[in-house]
Structure formats: C-alpha cells, structure tokens
Amino acid sequence: MAIIHNTTVKPTKLELLAPWLPTRPWYAGSGTPELTRAGGFRLDDPEGEVGIEFMVAVDTSGTGPVAYHVPLTYRGAPLPGAEHALIGTMEHGVLGPRWAYDGCHDPVLYTELLALIEGHAPAMAQSITDTADHEVTRSYAGAGLGAPSWPVDVTDDEQGTVLPAPGGTTLRVHRVLDPTAPDTRPADAIGHVTGAWQSPDAPEGTRARALFAALHGPNAG
C-alpha cells in the first residue's frame, strides 16, 4: 500500500515536467507549457519501494487546453540503466531525495500497468492513502499474459509510447488525451485503461474521460 504524505516536494512535479515535455515527440505545443495538475491515479508497488503515478497535466499555453498523460515513477535511488528516462530529482519533505522517471521506462510501472489491465491490480486514488479510484475503468479479453520480461524496447512517436508486451502483444500508452474519442476499449485491442481528469472544457460538474492505454493483440497492425 502506497502512503500519500501531505508534505512539500521541491521542485514540484510540474516544475520538473515543464522543461521535459517539449523534448518529447508527442508534445503538441510550440513553447514552454503552462501546466496544471488535473487528475490521474496511482498503482501500488507490491514491494513498497517505488511510487507509481499516472498524472494528467493540462497545458494552457496554447490556443486551447491540451491534456497530457504522464506515467511517473518515484524512487529513493537511481534506476540503473535508465539515465535517459530521468525527468529530474526532487526533495521530498518526508522521504528525502527522490528520482522521478518517465514511468514507461521503469519495469515496476510496466509490470503493474499490465496487471491493472488484466484485473490483478486495482487503480488507487492519486492523493488519498488506501483508497480505490472508481473513475478508472479497465478491460481484458485475452488469455493470461504470463510474466512480463524486462528490458523491452520502448519507443516514443507522435502518438505516444509503444512497448512490447508478453505473448506478442503490444502496449500503447496514450500521451495526448482526447476527451472527444470513445473511452472504451478500441475494437482492435484486447485490453484497455481509461481515466478521468478536470478539463477546462468540460461542462460544469463533469470530468473529461479518455483512453490512457490500450493492449493490442499479436496480430494487430
């Protein structure tokens, strides 16, 4: 169970993300983003060592708000071989130094995201300890995936991040969230995860929803 501490983090997560996002091929802006933390959820590391967060950060620097899905992991020491995925370091008021990574390059997040899709790991509230997030939905229509292996070849493109998954499947993590698209499992996918966030464009009293990740079968594409 991840414990959410009510404390300070310096620099903040959004301060780390602001210079990092424009370096990504899926960044839709043209300059430095102006970010607001708008939603997301967490997963628990069974070993209790790694913080796992799926953050939605809304950028309002352009002509309209853009919601980015940023999977993050937080570690108490550097992750060997993941220097390229380091977003930055922070000082946590309770836990001390923390290394923040693009979570798609972290084997713990990768394993737990697949477990969420299969229904073996629950989505947890982003800011409340030991509380399920019932806004997150998931599905899986395939056979058992089996144990994931690591490392895998992680690829970023203009659409998001792609990772090979067990059994010849492919995991696609959507980075620019589209609240106008269906938030259900795509017809060509065998599993999916959707989530919610507070969008400036959403009608009052409602929250935007979109597809966060999809698992495609071995014959996809």
Q: What's the whole-model pTM score? A: 0.93
Q: 60-87 pLDDT, tens per residue?
A: 998 899 999 999 999 999 999 999 999 9
Distances (CA, A) of 203 to 4, 34, 206, 207: 30, 22, 6, 8
Q: Where are the domains of the chain?
A: 9-216
Query: Residue 6: which pLDDT band, with cuts at 50, 70 and 90?
Result: low
Burial class (CB in 10 A: 0-12, 13-18, 19+), 13: buried
> Taking a C-beta distance cutoff of 8 angstroms, is the pair 102, 82 a contact?
no
Q: 171-214 pLDDT, tens per residue?
A: 999 999 999 999 999 999 999 999 999 998 777 778 999 999 99
